[in-house]
Chains A and B, each alone.
Chain A
Amino acid sequence: MALIFSYIKKHIVTFILAVAFLVVEAVTDIFQPALMSHIVDDGVTRQDTGAIIYYGVIMLIIAGIGAASAVIRNIFSTRHAQAVAKDMRRDIYKKTQSLSLENIDKISPASIITRITNDVSQVQDFVTGFTRIIFKAPITTISAIVMIVTQTPWLVPTMLIVIAISVFIMFLNIRIGYPKFARMQAKIDKLNHVAREYLTGVRVVKAFNASKNEEARFDRASDSLKNAGISAMRTMAVFGPLINLTVNVSIVVLLWLAHAQGGEHIGRTMASINYMTQMLFSLNIISGIFNRAIRALASSERIGEILHEEPAQKMPDRPLTPDIRGEVVFENVSFAYPGSDKNALENISFSCKPGQTIGIIGPTGSGKSTLTYLIPRFYDAGVGRVSVDGADVTLTDTNILRSRVGTAAQKALLFTGTIRDNLLWGNPDATDEEINTALKIADGLSIIESCDGGLDAVIGQGGVNLSGGQKQRLSLARTLLKKPKILILDDCTSALDATTEARVLAALREYSKDITVLLISQRISTVRRADKILCLDNGVVQGFDTHKNLLAGCGEYKAIYESQIGG
C-alpha cells in the first residue's frame, strides 16, 4: 500500500483538485433532494407555478454547478489515475532495463509483461475508486458515528460491537483474499508464458501437428487461472454480505430489546434503526473499496518486487573509464550459471593483445559462448578476474565497456521496424555511407536491394520475413556499425553458404586488422588463420596456441581437425 500511496503523492495536486471538485459535487448532491421537496411542498402542493419556477431555477443552477464539477472532477481524477499508472509502468520498465540478465531470467519475461500491464491496471482501478470514495466514505461513516454518539448514546456499545466485528471480517478478508489474488496474478503469468511460447514456436507447432498439444497446455493454464479466479471471487463474495448480516442482526437485536422493554422507547428504537441503516450504508462503501484494495495490494506487492529487485550485478561506485584498445585477459576464471551447481567455465586463463584474432573452438556446450558473455559483463565471473585493457570489467563503466564490445551472435535477433531502425541500433548517428560500408563487409547489400523499400523495408518481430542467413548478415552489419574495439563473432555465419561465408570472413579479416576479434566457430577452416586458438572442452581450456602448435600438441584439437578434414 505504501508503494501505491507514494505514487498518489507524486501527483498530489491533481489529486487534491479532484477531491476538491468532488466536495462541490457532493454538496450539490445534498442540496438537490431538499430543493426537490421544496418544489413539491411549496410549489406543486400549493399549486404555485412561481414557486416551482423559483426553486426549479435554483435547482437547475445547482445541478449545473454539480454537473460541471463532476465533469471537472472526472478530468482530474482520470488524469490522476492515468498518471499514476503511467509512472508505475515507466518505473517498472526502467527498472527492468537496469536489471541484469540473471534477474530477468529469475522473474521471467512473461511475468514482467503481466506486471507492467495487468498488475498496474489493478492498481489503477483501485486508485480511481479511491479518489471517488475518499470523501464519501469518511463523511458517511463519521456522520453515522456522530449521529449515533450524540443522538442515541445507548447504541454506542452495539455500534462498537458491530464495528469490531466488521473490522475483524475485513481483517479476515485481507488474510484470506490477499494470497488468492496473488495466486491469480501468478496464474496470469503462466498463461502469458504459454501464449508466448506458442507464438514463438508456431512453426514447430504446425510442423509437428501439435496444435492440440498447445491447446491443451493453454487450456490447462486458463483453467487454473479460472479456478484461482473463482476461488478469489468466492472469498470476496462472502465478506460484503457478512458485514450486511452483522448490521442487520444488530437491528433485529434492537427490535428484540425494544420488545423486551415493553415498547416504551419506540421513538428511540426507530432512530436507532435509522442510524444503524446509515452505518450499514457506509460500511458497504468501505467494504466495496476494500475488495479492490486487496486486489491492488496483491498487485502492488508484485510491482514492488521488481522495483525493489537488487540488480545481481553491482555497478562500481567510481567506475574505471579505461581507453579501450582491445586487450582482454582472463585470469583463473570459473563461472556457473545462477541456479546451476555445475561450473560452465573452469579455471580459464588466457590473454590477447589489441589487434589479435583469437579463435575459439570446442564441442557443443563446451562453454564457448559463455566465455564471451563475461567480457561485456552479461554475467560476472564467480571466481577469478576478467579484465579489458588492464581494468577489471566489474570495476569498469559498463556503458563504455559495452559500447566498445560488439557481439554478433548466431541467433540473429532483429526487432519489429525497418531494416534501417535495426541497423541504427549499432550507432544511432550512422550515416547512409557508414551503413553501406558495414553492409558491404557483412555481404548485406544484396539483401537491401532485394527488399521492397530497401533500407526502409519493414521487418516483422524477430525478422520473420528474412531467411536465417539474411538475418545473420544484417545482425553482423548492426554490430559492425558500433565500430567495436573487441568484436565477438559467435558462430555468426553458421547459416551462410560456404561461398558467402568465405567472402564475409575475408572482409572481416581486412576490417579487423586493428581490433581484437574473438571468433567462435565449429569449423577448423574458419579459425585456423587466427593468431591463436583457444580449444575448449567441458568448460576447461585444452589448448591455447596457434593452429600448427595445437595440431602438434593438443589431442582434442587434432581430433576435431581430423573429423573435418577427413570428411
Chain B
Amino acid sequence: MAASNLAAGAANIPGKHPGGGRRHGQPVQKPRDMKGTLSRLFQVLKGDRKGLVLILIFAVLSSASGIFSPLIIGQAISAISNGNAVLTFIFVLLGIYVGYFLVNLLQGIISGIFSQRVTYRIRVGLFRIMTGLPLKFFDTKQHGELMSRLTNDVDNISSTIADSLSQLLSSLFSMIGILIVMIRLSLPLTLVALIGTAAIVIFTRLVTKVTRPLFVKQQKDLGLLNGQVEETISGIFIVKSFSREKAVTQDFEKLNENLSKTATEAQTKSGIIMPVANVINNVSFVAISVLSATLAVQGMLSVGLITSFLLYIRQFSRPFVEISNIYNNFQTAIAGAERIFEILDTTPEPADKPDALPVKAPKGDITFTDVEFGYNPEKMILKGINLHVPAGTKVAVVGPTGAGKTTLINLLTRFYDVNAGSVTLDGHDLRDYRLADLRKAFGVVLQDTVLFAESVRYNIAYGNEGATIEDIKKAARIAGADSFIERMTDGYDTVLSQSGAELSHGERQLLTIARAVLSNAPIMILDEATSSVDTLTEKKIQNALLSVTEGRTSLIIAHRLSTIRDADLIIVIADGRIVEQGTHDELVALGGRYAAMHEAHVGE
C-alpha cells in the first residue's frame, strides 16, 4: 500500500522524466542548490504530510503547556499565600502536567514513527528506481558505494528530520510569537533588531556556501570507504591468497583519513555559525540599547517599554541561533539527498513504447541484421553481425575469449541495445516488445552463478513464483542437482546463508541450470552453463536439456566442443565478426578456424 504511494511519489519528483526516460539523451537536470533539493525532498514526503501536521500540532501544544504551567504555579502560590482555595489550581496544574507528559510522549512517538516511515519510503523508492536502471549504471559503480546511499545517506535525511523538526518548529513558533510582541511594542526598534537578524542570515548563507560542498564530499568519501570495505571483504579470499592485508589496509587508511579530514573540515567551518551569530546578536543588543536610550532621552520612548523590548530581544535571539544551528545540521541531510537524487536522475532502462507488443508464445525466430555494438561507443565489440536463427534450431556460438559471444546474448536479452542495425524476434525488433515479456521468453544460464541467501527452493524458483515443489524437484532432477540437494540438511528448504558461497562452483552452476529449466522459456540461452560441472554430470544434463529444448530455439556458448557438435548451426565469432558458420561436419571439412579448434580439442 505504502509502496504504491511511493512509486507515485518518486515519479512526482521534479526533474524526473515522466514515464521514465523516454526523453533519451537529454541532459539530466541536477539540482545543486539547497532550495531545489529541499523542495524535491518535500515532494518525496508527500504521503507522510499527515504525520508532519500532527508533529506541528503537538509542537504547538507542547509549547503552550510550557507557557501555561508557570502561570498556574504563580496563581497557586498567590492563592496559598492569600489563604484562598488552592485545590482547583493544584488539580489544574496536575492536569496540565499529565497533559504535558502525554503531549511530549505522543510527540516523541509520532516523530519517531514519522522519521522511520519517511526513511522507509525514501529507501524503498530509491531501490525501486535502482531496479529500473540499466546494467551500465551498475557496471560503473562500486557495490558498497551504492549501499552507502541506501543506508547512510537515507538515514541522514531521516535522523535530521526526526531530531530537528520538532525543535525547528517550536523555535519557529516562539520566534514568531516574540516577533509579534516586539512589533507591537515598537516597530522601529524591531526593524533595527531585524538588521541583526538579516546579518545572521547572510552570514549563515555565506558559510553554508563553503560548507555544503564539503558535506557532499563527506558523504561521497563515506561512500568510497564503504565501497572499498565491501570490495575487499567480498574478495577477502584473494586478499589473503596474495597476502595483501597490509596493502588493502593502507588503501583503507587513505580513504579513512580522507573521510575524517573532510568531515573535520566541514564541521569545523560550519561550527563558526553559532558563535558568530551570538556575537552579532550581542552587537545588535548593544546598538538597540544605545539607540533606545537616545530615543528615551528625547522622550520618544518610555523606559518601561524599552526594558521589556530588550528582554524580548534576548528571548528572540535564542530560537534564532537554534534555527541557524539546525539549518547547519540540515546540510548533511541535504548532501545525502543530493546523492540520492543523483540516482533518481539517472536515465532508467528505456521504457516500453506505448504500443509495445506483448510476447505471446514466441516461435523463436531470431535475426541479427548489420548489428554494431560497443560498450564504449568508440570501441565496437560487434562489427556488422548478420545472423539468422530459424525457430526451433539449436545454435552454438564458439570463438576465442573476448570475441563478443556473451555480448551477443547481452543484446538478445536487451541488457544493452544495439548501436546500429537491429535484432528481431519473430520479425519484430526487440525494442518493439514489452521488455518484461521479452525477458520472460528467455531461459538464461549466465556465467555468473548468482544465488541468494534464501532457501534452495527459492533459488530454483527464482523469477517463477507459481512453481510447485514438484516442478522444482523435477527441474532439479533434469539439471542433475537433485542428488546433492537431497544430501543437504534440510533438502530443498536448506537456506544458503552465504549466498551460495558454501557450495562448490559446479554445484552453483547446477542450481542455476535448474532455475533456467524451471523457467520453461521458449528460448534457452546457455552461456558456459556447464563449464564447472564434471563431464559425467554434464553428459546427463545435456541429455536432459536436449529433451527440454527439443523443438525450441536454443543458443549455446561453450568451449568444450563436444557439448555442441550436434548443434544445428555452429557460428564462429572472432574479433566481433562471424567468420564461419555451418554444421560441425561442414566446418571441419572447411578446414578453417573451427577445424583448428577441433583439432586442438581432440588432439590430445
Contact = CB atoms under 8 A, between A and B. Distances in A.
A467 B444 CA distance: 17
Contacts of A205: 131
B462 A213 contact: yes
Interface stretch (B19-27, B106-114, B382-390): B106-114
B128 interface: yes
A469 interface: yes
A269 B127 contact: no
Interface in A85-121: 85-86, 89-90, 93-94, 96-98, 101, 104-105, 108-109, 112-114, 116-118, 121
Contact of A200 (B140, B143, B286, B306): B143
Contacts of A369: 504-505
A512 to B, nearest CB: 18
Chain A contact surface mostly: helix
A117 B271 contact: no
A208 B463 contact: yes
Interface string B120-158: 100110011011100100111111101110111001000
A503 to B, nearest CB: 9
B419 to A, nearest CB: 16
A197 B271 contact: no
Contacts of A410: 505, 532
A220 to B, nearest CB: 10
Interface in A388-447: 399, 402-403, 405-407, 409-411, 413, 415-416, 425-426, 428, 446-447
B9 to A, nearest CB: 15
B559 interface: yes
Nearest to A459: B139
Most buried by A among B3, B239, B504, B509: B504
Interface in A349-407: 362-366, 369, 376, 378, 399, 402-403, 405-407
B94 A249 contact: yes
A146 interface: no
Contacts of A411: 505
Given A47-B296, A469-B402, A86 B446 contact: no
Interface in B197-246: 222, 225-227, 229-245
Contacts of A460: 139-141
B436 interface: yes
A456 to B, nearest CB: 15
Interface in A184-226: 188, 191-193, 195-211, 213-215, 217-219, 222-223, 225-226
Contacts of B81: 263, 266
A321 interface: no
Interface stretch (B173-181, B250-258, B339-347): B250-258
B452 A465 contact: no
Contact of B292 (A36, A44, A269, A465): A44
A203 B113 contact: no
B64 interface: no
A71 B275 contact: yes
Interface stretch (A158-166, A250-258, A326-334): A250-258
A59 B284 CA distance: 12
Contacts of B94: 249, 252
A255 B73 CA distance: 8
Given A67-B275, A259-B80, A468-B447, A43 B289 contact: yes
A473 B86 contact: no
Interface stretch (B42-50, B97-105, B421-429, B579-587): B97-105
B20 to A, nearest CB: 13
A497 B400 contact: yes
Given A78-B271, A363-B534, A200 B100 contact: no
Interface residues of B, number: 179
Contacts, number: 493
A35 to B, nearest CB: 9
Contact of B243 (A105, A188, A365, A399): A399
A256 B560 CA distance: 94
A426 B256 CA distance: 25
B293 interface: yes
B453 A193 contact: yes
Given A240-B108, A245-B98, A494-B531, A206 B439 contact: yes
B73 A251 contact: yes
Given A205-B131, A240-B108, A415-B235, A495 B531 contact: yes
B83 interface: yes
Given A215-B128, A364-B533, A376 B123 contact: no
A222 B271 CA distance: 34
B398 to A, nearest CB: 7
B600 A502 contact: yes
B452 A197 contact: yes
B369 interface: no
B505 A413 contact: no
Interface in A149-184: none
B448 A203 contact: yes
Interface in B547-604: 559-562, 596-598, 600-601, 603-604
B498 interface: yes
A141 B256 CA distance: 38
Given A229-B116, A230-B113, A237-B109, A70 B132 contact: no
B447 A495 contact: yes
Interface in B254-308: 256-257, 259-260, 263-264, 267-268, 271-272, 274-276, 278-279, 282-283, 285-286, 289-290, 292-294, 296-297, 303, 306-307
14 contacts: A40-B289, A40-B306, A44-B303, A74-B271, A79-B264, A109-B230, A233-B112, A363-B534, A365-B506, A378-B240, A415-B238, A425-B247, A494-B532, A497-B399
Given A364-B534, A563-B535, 6 more contacts: A44-B296, A207-B415, A214-B131, A364-B509, A415-B232, A497-B401
